[in-house]
Amino acid sequence: MTTPDGSDLAIRVVAMPADTNSSGDIFGGWLLSQMDLAAWVAARKLTSKRLVTVAMDGVVFHKPVYVGDCLLCYTTVERIGRTSITIHVQAHAERVHGGEEVAVTEGRITMVALDADRNPTPIR
């Protein structure tokens, strides 16, 4: 599935009660974890090398995610360097009531390819 702006749907997951704090709000850390997974899914299409996250930049939480919402993470490859890949991730919530899809969070995630000794290695 591709969004109108050309990004790819990398993951889709339901926000569950176990993903909340004591007030019932979805943890921001859970959301960042899903975005990190989405970036890895996008980056692994570009290399078979081991990938690790080295940076999350420009993360902005626009709106909350609620229990029962489907979280959709869309990815766009922004940059491919010699050893790193930068992915822009847009997280949307498909609301449990009504099905409206709204942008909730976005940010850039940079991943680096590693060799067997865990040193940066060329992506290709």
Asked if the structure places residue 120 within a domain, the reply is no
Helices (H), 1-124: 28-43
Q: Domain range spanning residue 67? A: 8-114
Lowest mean pLDDT among 2-6, 20-24, 108-112, 117-121: 2-6
**Above 70 in pLDDT, residue 119?**
yes
Report the C-alpha gap between 37 and 40 in whole angstroms.
5
pLDDT, position 3: 58
Q: Which residue has the higher pLDDT, 23 or 29?
A: 29
Question: Which two structure tokens, joined as six digits, stand for 114?
Answer: 């590693």
Report the C-alpha gap between 10 and 103 in whole angstroms.
15
Asked if the structure places residue 45 within a domain, the reply is yes
Question: Which two structure tokens, joined as six digits, stand for 95?
Answer: 């609301």
Residues 31-54 pLDDT 10s = 999 999 999 999 999 999 999 999
Asked if the structure places residue 13 within a domain, the reply is yes
Asked if the structure places residue 80 within a domain, the reply is yes
Residues 57-108 pLDDT 10s = 999 999 999 999 999 999 999 999 999 999 999 999 999 999 999 999 999 9
pLDDT, position 21: 87
Give the CATH number, domain containing residue 93. Answer: 3.10.129.10
Asked if the structure places residue 123 within a domain, the reply is no
Asked if the structure places residue 51 within a domain, the reply is yes
The phi and psi torsions of 29 (rounded to 5 degrees) equal -65, -35
Asked if the structure places residue 124 within a domain, the reply is no
Domain count, the chain: 1
Q: pTM, whole model, 2 decimals? A: 0.93
Asked if the structure places residue 2 within a domain, the reply is no
pLDDT, position 99: 92
Report the C-alpha gap between 9 and 89 in whole angstroms.
10
**Above 50 in pLDDT, residue 1?**
no
Are the CB atoms for 100 and 90 separated by under 8 Å?
Answer: no
